[in-house]
């Protein structure tokens, strides 16, 4: 068995793709390895979203070069592939800058890896596959042989929204939804393998359009699968938060009361400059409607601070939006200039120290809200789906409907099952409880 090491950066969609690449290479005799030491093939599945993410790739290639040389000295060969969004955005540059890299493959072309590996063995050189034959990719994937209790399932890919700060429309290509029957078939297969929760993935997952099937209808179809207990989806865009999806949170018992709905900013001027095409109050209204449909809805979001031109008043509007909504958790980032995006060319870039101060203030508020949300569960009894063993002897880790991790003393056979757990206390990032 040859050893394959895959390192994943970036979003859940990359995690899904990494697993699919491993599936594709299994028939070629590659088995998973959890270290690059001695690996016969290493795939870096990269992310281009912020400058730091993209830079990591080149330093990682530098480290791998040594391992590759060692492997060659011992008479072996380590194939090094760069996949993902950096490969898509900077494929030619990687080929020019990093001769240690043997293969470069974009997020819509990785189904061609087996063929590329064969060609590389025959001819050498630097095959580069970075086009967008999205329809072709999903048809060419091979069935997976294993799954966790919670499994990712990509249903939609790409983005046509062109927020002015974002590289995704350029790295993932145009919006494209998978055929609902193919999604349902993959879902049944994952449930047969033991998955109890599915997380539907898409860059704009709530824009899902499977030839008349909306995301709400897809969730309805999925809910009919016996053995599937929980359905989640991510990431959504406020503009696509349709009435039927909001109603599904009331009517579909398997759809969890949890939504990641990035808003980015609470300032209308900044939202406009970002090309988000909605105002802060539109977002507030969506949240009201969601909470009317499902009062215990837990909300999470993404924020960017220091977008070009963001004033103190704009930032304060973001803080006010956070206070008004109340988030269960959230991600926040300093604006990072991305080559080729419209915002990178704007003249009024925000100074680094101002960005840092704003990020700190926002994160302090969001952390406080997270702790308040977690604390509000103490004393309650919640259905927890157990996913894996915990760090302590006899302990399992599961998740509440609101995605909070819970540590409980539980027999191992409860993995994959739901039990009512009384929540007793909180530590920094998780809850602890006991079965009732």
Which candidate, 272, 254, 274, places its Cα nearest to that of 341? 274
Phi and psi, residue 17, nearest 5°: -65, -40
Phi and psi, residue 386, nearest 5°: -85, 130
CA distance 202 to 374: 27
Residue with token string 């060419």? 140
Min separation Cβ 275 and ligand SAH, Å: 11
Binding residues for ligand SAH, how many (CB under 6 A)? 17
Question: Counting contacts by CB under 6 A, is residue 10 touching ligand F3S?
Answer: yes
Q: Is 241 exposed, middle or buried (0-12, 13-18, 19+ CB in 10 A)?
A: buried
Q: Which residues ranging from 138 to 167 are in contact with ligand F3S (CB under 6 A)?
A: 167
Q: Which two tokens mark 27? A: 């028939």
Min separation Cβ 342 and ligand F3S, Å: 17
Q: Which two tokens mark 286? A: 């969506």
Question: Counting contacts by CB under 6 A, is residue 176 touching ligand SAH?
Answer: no
Min separation Cβ 203 and ligand F3S, Å: 6
Q: Which two tokens mark 102? A: 């043997």
Part in contact with ligand F3S (CB under 6 A); list of ranges 44-52, 137-145, 252-260, 327-335: 44-52
Point out which residues bind ligand SF4 (CB under 6 A).
159, 161-163, 166, 168-169, 203-204, 237
- Of 14, 154, 156, 264, the one binding ligand SAH (CB under 6 A) is 264
Min separation Cβ 89 and ligand SAH, Å: 12
Indicate which of ligand SAH, ligand F3S, ligand SF4, none lies near residue 335 (CB less than 5 to 8 Å, by partner kind): ligand SAH
45 versus 400: smaller Cβ distance to ligand SF4: 45
Min separation Cβ 194 and ligand F3S, Å: 26
Indicate which of ligand F3S, ligand SAH, ligand SF4, none lies near residue 52 (CB less than 5 to 8 Å, by partner kind): none
108 versus 203: smaller Cβ distance to ligand SAH: 203
CA distance 204 to 187: 19
204 versus 400: smaller Cβ distance to ligand SF4: 204
Min separation Cβ 283 and ligand SAH, Å: 12
156 versus 404: smaller Cβ distance to ligand SF4: 156
**Angle, CA 151 vertex, CA 231 and CA 32 arms, to 5°:** 175
Residue with token string 């590389």? 120
Indicate which of ligand SAH, ligand SF4, ligand F3S, none lies near residue 176 (CB less than 5 to 8 Å, by partner kind): none
Residue with token string 């599937």? 228
Which candidate, 270, 254, 258, places its Cα nearest to that of 327? 258
End-to-end CA distance of the chain: 46
Indicate which of ligand F3S, ligand SAH, ligand SF4, none lies near residue 333 (CB less than 5 to 8 Å, by partner kind): ligand SAH
CA distance 135 to 140: 9
- Of 138, 233, 333, 402, the one binding ligand SAH (CB under 6 A) is 333
What lies within 8 Å, CB to CB, of 333 at 6+ separation is: 50, 302, 303, 304, 305, 359
Binding residues for ligand F3S, how many (CB under 6 A)? 13
Min separation Cβ 262 and ligand SF4, Å: 7
Min separation Cβ 207 and ligand SF4, Å: 9
Residue with token string 């759809």? 255
Q: Are strands 329-334 and 381-389 parallel, antiparallel or unpaired?
A: unpaired
Instruction: Report how far apart, in Å, the C-alpha atoms of 94 and of each of 10, 90, 103, 118, 213 are.
Output: 18, 6, 10, 21, 40
CA distance 381 to 403: 15
3-state secondary structure of 185: helix
CA distance 170 to 185: 30
14 versus 404: smaller Cβ distance to ligand SAH: 14
Taking only Cα atoms into account, the Rg of the chain, rounded to an integer number of angstroms, comes to 22
Q: Which two tokens mark 37? A: 């030491």
132 versus 165: smaller Cβ distance to ligand SAH: 165
- Of 262, 266, 390, 401, the one binding ligand SAH (CB under 6 A) is 262
- Of 237, 355, 426, 432, the one binding ligand SAH (CB under 6 A) is 237
Q: Which residues ranging from 334 to 373 are in contact with ligand SAH (CB under 6 A)?
A: 335-336, 338
Question: Counting contacts by CB under 6 A, is residue 166 touching ligand SAH?
Answer: yes
Residues that bind ligand F3S (CB under 6 A): 10-11, 13-14, 47-49, 84-85, 167-168, 171-172
Residues that bind ligand SAH (CB under 6 A): 49-50, 165-166, 168, 203-204, 235, 237, 262, 264, 302, 304, 333, 335-336, 338
């Amino acid at each position: 068995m040859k050893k394959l090491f895959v390192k994943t950066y970036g979003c859940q969609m990359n995690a899904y793709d990494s697993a699919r690449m491993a599936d594709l290479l299994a028939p070629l005799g590659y088995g998973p390895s959890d270290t690059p030491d001695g690996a016969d093939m290493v795939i870096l599945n990269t992310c281009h979203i912020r400058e730091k993410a993209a830079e990591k790739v080149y330093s990682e290639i530098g480290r791998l070069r040594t391992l590759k040389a060692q492997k060659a000295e011992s008479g072996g060969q380590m194939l090094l592939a760069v996949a993902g969004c950096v490969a898509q955005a900077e494929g030619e540059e990687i080929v020019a800058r990093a001769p240690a890299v043997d293969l470069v493959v974009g997020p819509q072309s990785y189904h061609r890896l087996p063929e590329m590996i064969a060609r590389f063995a025959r001819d050498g050189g630097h095959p580069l596959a970075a086009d967008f034959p999205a329809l072709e990719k999903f048809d060419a994937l091979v069935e997976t042989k294993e799954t966790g209790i919670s499994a990712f399932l990509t249903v939609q890919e790409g983005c046509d929204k062109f927020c002015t700060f974002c590289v995704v429309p350029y790295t993932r290509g145009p919006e494209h939804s998978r055929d609902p029957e193919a999604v349902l078939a993959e879902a049944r297969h994952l449930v047969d393998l033991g998955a109890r929760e599915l997380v539907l993935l898409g860059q704009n997952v709530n824009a899902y359009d499977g030839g008349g099937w909306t995301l709400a209808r897809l969730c309805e179809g999925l809910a009919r699968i016996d053995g599937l207990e929980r359905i989640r989806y991510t990431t959504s865009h406020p503009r696509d938060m349709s009435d039927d999806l909001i109603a599904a949170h009331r009517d579909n018992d398997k759809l969890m009361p949890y939504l990641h709905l990035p808003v980015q900013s609470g300032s209308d001027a900044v939202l406009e400059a970002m090309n988000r095409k909605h105002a802060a109050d539109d977002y507030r209204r969506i949240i009201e409607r969601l909470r009317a449909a499902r009062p215990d809805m837990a909300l999470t979001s993404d924020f960017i601070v220091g977008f070009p031109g963001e004033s103190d008043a704009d930032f304060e509007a973001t803080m006010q939006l956070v206070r008004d909504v109340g988030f269960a958790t959230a991600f926040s980032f300093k604006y990072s200039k991305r080559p080729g995006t419209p915002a990178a060319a704007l003249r009024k870039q925000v100074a680094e120290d101002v960005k840092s101060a704003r990020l700190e203030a926002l994160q302090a508020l969001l952390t406080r809200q997270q702790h308040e949300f977690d604390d509000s569960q103490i004393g309650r009894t919640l259905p927890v789906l157990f996913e894996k063993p915990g760090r302590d002897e006899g302990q399992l880790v599961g998740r509440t409907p609101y995605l909070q991790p819970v540590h409980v003393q539980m027999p191992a056979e409860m993995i994959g099952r739901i039990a009512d757990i009384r929540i007793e206390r909180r530590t920094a990032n998780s809850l602890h409880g006991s079965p009732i």
